[in-house]
Structure 1
Amino acid sequence: MMTRVFALLVWALAGLTGTASAQQGNETGVWVQIEAHPSLTTAQQRAQDYAARLADVNGFSLGGSWYGILLGPYLRDDAERVLRTYRADRLIPRDSFIAYSRNLGAQYWPGGANVLNRGVIAAPQPAAPTVAAQTAEPVTPADETPAEARRGERLLSAGQRKDLQTALRAAGFYNAAIDGAFGAGTRRSMADWQLASGYEPTGVLTTLQRQALMDRYNAPLISTGMRRVHDVGAGIEIDLPMAEVGFARYEPPFAHYDATGDLGVRLLLISQPGTRATLYGLYDIMQTLEIVPLDGPRNRGKDRFTLEGRGKGMVSYTEAALADGQIKGFTLIWPEGDEARRLRVLDAMQASFTRTDAVLDPATGDSAQSVDLLSGLQVRKPRLTRSGFYVDNRGAVVTTADAIEGCARITLDDEYPAQVAVSDAGLGVAVLRPTQALAPMSVARFRRDKGRLQSPVTVSGFSYGGVLGGPTLTHGTLADVKGLAGESELTRLALNALPGDAGGPVIDAAGGVLGMLLPARNPNRDLPQDVSLSADAGAIRAVLDRAGLQAADSDQTDSLAPGDLNRVAFGMTVLVSCWD
């Protein structure tokens, strides 16, 4: 029964190759790389072993005298499904990964095949025997006996022993401490790896087996072209995946390495003079960039920080540290769904990171002049911004209902997270509560009456979405105490507002709040520019009651001086941002 189930699985996955060929036309597809070896003979033998168990086995040169074993070609989604299925069934190593045709050279398996039209590597031929030679040396040296393997094992350094444990853990066979001590746990993991790889499970790796294990472990680094780079300008030496990135430009504090390969990897080297305050400022600024998604751990210590973000198809990792008046580090941006290879590359970068004397000069660089860019990087922007105003002394806010629709995150003044307490879609009003108590400079005080017709009114709002750093006051008059269709919960204003003003308080000359400015309700109907609508104070009181909040009353009757009115309006108005 087990044989039949396995045969059906292979048959089902084998059908994916035809699908890729039919749908892609001239495209060469995506591959699952499962092993790599520096010996062509070993690679051919391993490819033959896999071909006896799996469909779609191919072998290609990877460059640098390395030979890869790959499954494919597939469509991207099919390749990921093959990767997940075969990993789960332990038919391929756990550190197998998605690979692309651009990194592959001439084909050596199956013999004579030339799928990518990049040439064929002939199988190595054993030397012809001579009359004098009674026996011929084998092409592949014989493997060691267990006793010989143990003797060879004793010659390993502590670092080499730890490397073997690390490789076993990466392959999914070892989960204990990396200490270089080959105890019972390590021996069991070695035997399990031997059995899964087609060797006799002795629990002691021979020299050839150790090499095969390390070759598989290092395959992700080989596939991305990891090599030592000395960026003289940034003053950093580090191993980088140079088959996937290339140096582009300096825009302090960053040296940009843009994508050159199919993976879409990007890199930044961080280099700038500074103090601890500079480091903390960089920590805050990095989190405003699109390349650092919001979902992920953040950690800031005394003289260093790390940031990790996941989302929008990317995984981003940043680390930076202050030493001797210089802040240096890096950011690695990697596509989602390729975690095993990302972690191997990240480990290699961290282990190789070395400071040299130079540092980027903050005064140099040719970054584009834009408030939306920082050193050539896009600053994260909200999907929608509206105005709002504080209604209690703990920071509860009234804003428009459309400001909170479909938001992954809501912030007040770009900094303070908030949650929806109540939303009234019919009226177009929502109430927000900050996740931590705030201390507003002033709080809205509502009028009990609707105000006098033709009396002056002011709307305080973020007309330009926070670009100016504070609210703008727009002046007008109260045109009617009901809506255009006679709605009693609305008032009509003779006031030329902008979309960003929606959600802002409508204030009378004495500083009392008459209502909240509403956004345009019908995008297919253009009203005159000086016609705006607001939800009146009575309707807002009812929404606040549902949120468990009590509106404060305004008993001020005398008109305020312009400066005093500005202070009241500015103190209560807040920028509300909706983020994806």
Structure 2
Amino acid sequence: MRILRHYLTLFLFVLLPFSFALSAQTANAQQASWIQIEAHPSLNEAQVRAQAFAGAFDNVNGFRSNSGWYVIALGPYDAVTAENELQRLAVENLIPADSYLVTSDRFTQQYWPIGANRLDDTVVALPVPESSLTETDPVTSLTYLPDETPREARASERLLSREAKMELQRAMQWEGFYNAAIDGDFGRGTRNAMALYQRAKGYDETGILTTRQRAELLENYNAILSSLGMEAYTDTKAGITIRLPMAMVEFDGYEAPFAHFTPTTDDGVRVSLISQYGDQATLFGLYEIMQTLEIVPLNGERERNQNSFTLTGENNDISSYTYATLAGGTIKGFTLVWPAGDSKRMERVVSSMRASFTPNDSIALDDMASDGDAPQSVDLLAGLEIRKPKSARSGFYLDGSGHILTTTEAVAQCSKITVEDGIEATIAFSDEALGISVLKPQEPVAPIAYAQFAEAAPRLNSDVAVAGFSFGGALDAPTLTFGKLSDVKGLNGEPNLQRLAMSPLPGDAGGPVVNAAGSVIGMLQPNEARDGRSLPNSVSFSSASDAITEALRANGIKVSKANGETALHPLDLTTIASDMTVLVACWE
């Protein structure tokens, strides 16, 4: 019994006697036609897929094409039968929608079934006999051949390879019916999933998928990739062959070490191939650099071993997957970026890209590879936007262990806080009334200098300065903004505030306010409207040092007092203030 005897069969009625010569048969011999259903650049991948299709069709063949690809085809047929079969199988969703007809001259040799050779087969096209029915005679009987019995389905199931069984489990997992291990073992969990699938489709709940049901399941599973235009792409310059969703992206250009593909649809999917010469140090450096890019959001898994790494990331806008590997003195990989909320579909794309990823270790992009017209900016790395923090403010060291004082505004609602050159920090404590927060770095730090708080109360109209990262980290070192102490209290008489006559920038908030001797007399607060009133740019406020030190001691932070109040040369003042000042970045 043929495996696929479930299709619609029209029984013919009485036929007029006919005869024709054997010579007519041989005269109609013709080259075989085939239905090409898939093609793969890798022999191993093609063999696995051919074996999987063999579980659904009894005439699966695999050939190497003239172009070097490995084709999976059904046949052989004569031309008319091939056309009819193509239409029927496509209508019933049993083969990919982009399947098409080819002839044997497109192939060079057969690889599946192993040892077979059907390239020289010819197909005899028999003349169509005349029927006794007229065009107006009705068809009086349609007979549907039954699907496989459970016994027959189990028998055909035994012929499946382990990989083919795992593919069925993946398909059921994708459809939401299976949530156990992908192991090719059809135990209770798999049988229950099959029964659930059959119930959802209106089939008898036997827990054993028939050949037709397996083909339908796999077709729906693979349809998503077909709709995205997954096809092999070879970049000879980058030395990479990989399947890409070419219905969604197009090649845009090179910007070493990347080959960029930009979106062609509103989905906003993007791809970047990675290709460069290097060693393990280069790979590890790339691992760190990729995490500074906008296309690799902060939230996600990070995995690095001796010769490869994987990065995943997601935020409210995008998700991404990055893979890179080191072999033969070259680093190859890819990044796929897609809009948030589309992960179920795009994870299939990631799996296809990983499975098809084939690097050529003998070639890679030159370090200077560029199309020349790419935009240049300090916020771009090889054409990709560098991730920027939600806000960048200032802070200053309080002690030799690295505690940092900053404003509460600087660290409000952050998914991550970093100080200095990307060292993560946590909030040790905050005082909302004073507007101060103390940070504790998660790695050991050795401050060059830390705050020495003034012993004496600051004098009105005395010269003061604030050290801060005025431009949000665009400069590597803090700058000093000079001014005067206008009052030792706030506009409403607040004793914990000091009014300053200076015009700092937003990035300066959290920086130390020092007197002419370099002693800390306060911490600069952000310039915000107070009580609904917008103040002049030349008016700023700082938290008073007495209130700050009292709060620090109450929370177990040791503070240091200044020895002497001798005025310093402006250059020395700049050095002291800058050495204690830290960039504080808030990330989301």
Tell me the matched-pair count.
Answer: 470
Q: Cα distance 1:186–1:455, how it changes in 2: closer, same or farther (>3 A)?
A: closer
Could you tell me how far apart the structure 2 residues matched to 1:149 and 1:486 are?
87
Q: By how many angstroms is 1:541 displaced?
A: 1.8
Moved more, 498-507 or 193-202: 193-202
Could you tell me how far apart the structure 1 residues matched to 2:256 and 2:416 are?
31
Q: What per-residue deviation string (whole Å, max 9, x for no partner) do you get for residues 501-520 of structure 1?
A: 22211222333111112332
Q: What per-residue deviation string (whole Å, max 9, x for no partner) do you get for residues 296-316 of structure 1?
A: 111111111111111123221
2:459 matched to which residue of 1?
Answer: 452
1:361 matched to which residue of 2?
Answer: 366
- The answer on 1:236 being equivalent to 2:240 is yes
Q: By how many angstroms is 1:442 displaced?
A: 1.8
- The answer on 1:514 being equivalent to 2:518 is no
Matches within 5 A, 1:207-286: 207-286=211-290
Q: By how many angstroms is 1:352 displaced?
A: 0.5
Q: By how many angstroms is 1:282 displaced?
A: 1.2
Q: Cα distance 1:221–1:139, how it changes in 2: closer, same or farther (>3 A)?
A: farther
- The answer on 1:371 being equivalent to 2:382 is no
Moved more, 522-531 or 369-378: 522-531
Q: By how many angstroms is 1:575 displaced?
A: 0.8
| 1:548 aligned partner, one-letter code | G
Secondary structure at 2:198 match in 1 = helix
Moved more, 314-323 or 360-369: 360-369
Could you tell me how far apart the structure 2 residues matched to 1:531 and 1:167 are?
66
Could you tell me how far apart the structure 2 residues matched to 1:45 and 1:325 are?
49
2:474 matched to which residue of 1?
Answer: 467
| Structure 2 unaligned residues grouped into runs of 5+ | 1-84, 101-127
Partner residue of 1:312 out of 280, 298, 316: 316
- The answer on 1:573 being equivalent to 2:581 is yes
1:106 matched to which residue of 2?
Answer: none
Q: By how many angstroms is 1:182 displaced?
A: 4.1
2:413 matched to which residue of 1?
Answer: 406
Q: What per-residue deviation string (whole Å, max 9, x for no partner) do you get for residues 145-181 of structure 1?
A: 4454344334433432332233233334444444444
Secondary structure at 2:241 match in 1 = strand
Assess if the C-alpha contact under 8 Å between 1:450 and 1:536 holds in 2.
no
Matches within 5 A, 1:6-21: none
Assess if the C-alpha contact under 8 Å between 1:512 and 1:556 holds in 2.
no
1:551 matched to which residue of 2?
Answer: 559
Q: Cα distance 1:63–1:158, how it changes in 2: closer, same or farther (>3 A)?
A: closer
1:82 matched to which residue of 2?
Answer: none
Q: Cα distance 1:317–1:403, how it changes in 2: closer, same or farther (>3 A)?
A: same
Assess if the C-alpha contact under 8 Å between 1:504 and 1:517 holds in 2.
yes
Q: Cα distance 1:132–1:533, how it changes in 2: closer, same or farther (>3 A)?
A: closer
Assess if the C-alpha contact under 8 Å between 1:414 and 1:577 holds in 2.
no
Assess if the C-alpha contact under 8 Å between 1:173 and 1:192 holds in 2.
yes
Partner residue of 1:443 out of 443, 450, 471: 450
Could you tell me how far apart the structure 1 residues matched to 2:342 and 2:129 are?
46
Identity across aligned pairs (percent)? Answer: 50
1:535 matched to which residue of 2?
Answer: 543
Assess if the C-alpha contact under 8 Å between 1:459 and 1:504 holds in 2.
yes
Q: What per-residue deviation string (whole Å, max 9, x for no partner) do you get for residues 236-279 of structure 1?
A: 11111111111112111111111112322111111111121111
Could you tell me how far apart the structure 2 residues matched to 1:165 and 1:488 are?
70
Assess if the C-alpha contact under 8 Å between 2:417 and 2:584 holds in 1.
yes
Assess if the C-alpha contact under 8 Å between 2:96 and 2:223 holds in 1.
no
Q: Cα distance 1:138–1:336, how it changes in 2: closer, same or farther (>3 A)?
A: farther
Q: What per-residue deviation string (whole Å, max 9, x for no partner) do you get for residues 427-481 of structure 1?
A: 4333333345533222211112223345443321111111111111233444444
Q: Cα distance 1:331–1:128, how it changes in 2: closer, same or farther (>3 A)?
A: farther
Q: Cα distance 1:468–1:202, how it changes in 2: closer, same or farther (>3 A)?
A: same
2:132 matched to which residue of 1?
Answer: 131
Q: By how many angstroms is 1:374 displaced?
A: 1.0
Secondary structure at 1:327 match in 2 = strand
1:17 matched to which residue of 2?
Answer: none
Partner residue of 1:429 out of 428, 432, 436: 436
Could you tell me how far apart the structure 2 residues matched to 1:533 and 1:262 are?
48
1:303 matched to which residue of 2?
Answer: 307
Q: Cα distance 1:532–1:352, how it changes in 2: closer, same or farther (>3 A)?
A: same
Assess if the C-alpha contact under 8 Å between 2:271 and 2:335 holds in 1.
yes
Could you tell me how far apart the structure 1 residues matched to 2:399 and 2:164 are?
64
Matches within 5 A, 1:96-107: none
- Structure number, greater radius of gyration: 2
1:114 matched to which residue of 2?
Answer: none
Could you tell me how far apart the structure 1 residues matched to 2:153 and 2:218 are?
16
Q: Cα distance 1:270–1:510, how it changes in 2: closer, same or farther (>3 A)?
A: same
| Structure 1 unaligned residues grouped into runs of 5+ | 1-37, 47-60, 67-126
Secondary structure at 1:553 match in 2 = coil
Question: Taking structure 1 as the reference length, what is the TM-score of the superposition?
Answer: 0.72
Q: By how many angstroms is 1:561 displaced?
A: 5.3
Q: By how many angstroms is 1:569 displaced?
A: 1.9
